[in-house]
Amino acid sequence: MHRIYDVLARHLWLQFACAWVLATGAVLLVYPGRSPLSVLVRVLLCSAGAVWLAVRRRRREEAAAGGEADGLMTLDHMLRAGRVPGDPAQREAMSTLVDYRLRRTRHRTAALVFLGVMLAGVAVATVFATTAPRAAAYCVFCAVVFGYCFVAGGMALDRLRRMREELDATTGAGRPAPGGHPTRHAA
């Protein structure tokens, strides 16, 4: 599994290709009479904005990790394993990456509420607009997507918070608290 993750982490285009194939397959399952080529083209066009946002985010994370995809991948492995880097330069890069990712999660609750309302709306609309089996499939799909986003996002946020605490504890110096005063660690 780590090898697959490594390949996908290094090659962002491969992540997009896999997502496009999966999305095309899902649309073809729901609407079997459509042409696979037309569905693929529609998926590519509809995902253009998401691809742009993902590439932009990746570049910012690479810059926070020292400017290289390999550096980002190394730091991400350490973050997932919960290991604090020993090298001071890597520790600083990890600190910058963790701060960047924690800042991006500041609107997590509002985003989850919006996602829940949107998915519930889609599920309710499909109940009135389509057949019972298709509506049931949409409802199950919406529940699974929301559950995955909630659980996986919570685990990632906990991992980031633990790493922030460990980085602060190993350096001995506190980071500025929201009130502007540095936090103090017991020696």
pLDDT for the residue numbered 177: 42
pLDDT for the residue numbered 186: 40
CA gap 164, 18 in Å, rounded = 32
pLDDT for the residue numbered 21: 87
C-alpha dihedral, 55 to 61 to 65 to 70, nearest 10°: -30
DSSP secondary structure string for all residues of 54-87: HHHHHHHHHHHTTS-HHHHHHHHHHHHHTPPPSS
pLDDT for the residue numbered 180: 41
pLDDT for the residue numbered 106: 92
CA gap 69, 75 in Å, rounded = 10
Question: What global pTM score does this model have?
Answer: 0.70
pLDDT for the residue numbered 1: 63
* Contacts of 145 by beta carbon, 8 Å cutoff, 6+ apart: 119
State the chain's maximal CA–CA distance in angstroms: 68
CA gap 123, 8 in Å, rounded = 32
The one-character DSSP state at 162 is: H
∠ CA 1-166-85, nearest 5°, is 55
pLDDT tens sequence for the chain (187 residues): 667 766 776 777 788 888 888 888 888 888 888 888 888 888 888 888 888 888 888 888 888 777 777 788 888 888 888 888 888 888 888 999 999 999 999 999 999 999 999 999 988 898 898 888 888 988 998 999 999 999 999 999 999 999 999 998 887 655 544 444 344 344 3
pLDDT for the residue numbered 187: 34
pLDDT for the residue numbered 173: 54
State the DSSP H helix or E strand holding residue 148, giving kind and residue range, or none if neither.
helix 132-171
pLDDT for the residue numbered 86: 85
